[in-house]
Amino acid sequence: MLKKDYYKNIYGFIHQGIIVFDENNKEVEYVNNEFITYLSFNEKDIDFNLCEKLEGVFLERSKVVIQGQVKIVFILLNDNISKKLLKKGPMVIFTWMNKKNWPTTFVSENVKRILGYSVEDFTEGNIFYSDIIYAEDLDRVSKEVENAIKNDKELFYHEPYRLISKKGNLIWVSDFTVVIKNYANEIIGFHGYINNINELMKVRNALTEQEEEVKKLLTPLI
């Protein structure tokens, strides 16, 4: 492993988010402040799996050889499109621990706009993720997580479920979740990509109601 001071000499003058992993053990060897500030990460929460999932959306990946050692470098995309998507788009990124009620170690800043909660509400333990899942959906969501773990899935999709906003409104979301494992192959957490699909569900429900009305009208003719 190369020392951080060595990387500072190489990348210190670049005002762009950079993170370097060793190719073999996938451990973080260097991350600069631009990277942490840009995505609102804590350095301890950054891992290789997360960076892989953000590749092409927020990050650009390359492989370099430094002093005979192969390193994987992720660099934040030059334009501001990815940042705007994260802050203004409908997707909220969560990182949860694989513990009861799914404590949150990271959540993107747009959680305030989408759900009304602050980042600190989650990261300081005032709210668990399970607290904001609508009661009628919680059991199903829990079983989907259990089934994914049982079947050793690396990633999985939830059926749409409802979250409770800080104002008490119900918001339909889709949830794409990536399983986080340590080097002992133990599941230690999850990265969740939560999309607000409220408008989509309103349209789908309206179409379902229309179909039911049509069936009622046609029943006497059958």
Q: Tell me the two tokens of residue 36.
A: 């942490």
pTM for this entry: 0.61
Largest Cα span, the chain: 81
Domain boundaries, the chain: 4-76, 89-205
Give ∠ CA 90-92-93 in degrees, rounded to 5. Answer: 145
CATH of 89-205, one of 3.40.50.300, 3.20.20.70, 3.30.450.20, 2.60.120.10: 3.30.450.20
Is the confidence at residue 13, as pLDDT, over 80?
no
Say if 4-76 and 89-205 have the same CATH topology. Answer: yes
**Predicted confidence (pLDDT) per residue in 48-102, tens digit:** 888 887 777 678 888 888 778 899 988 877 555 555 556 666 789 888 989 999 9
Q: Which of 57, 48, 40 is nearest to 22 (CA)?
A: 48
Other Cβ atoms less than 10 A from the Cβ of 19: the count is 24
Write b or e for each residue in 111-124: b if 16 or more Cβ atoms lie within 10 A of its Cβ, otherwise e.
Answer: bbebbbbbbebbbe
**Fold of the domain built from segment(s) 4-76:** Beta-Lactamase (3.30.450)
Helix (H, G, I), strand (E, B) or coil at 99: coil
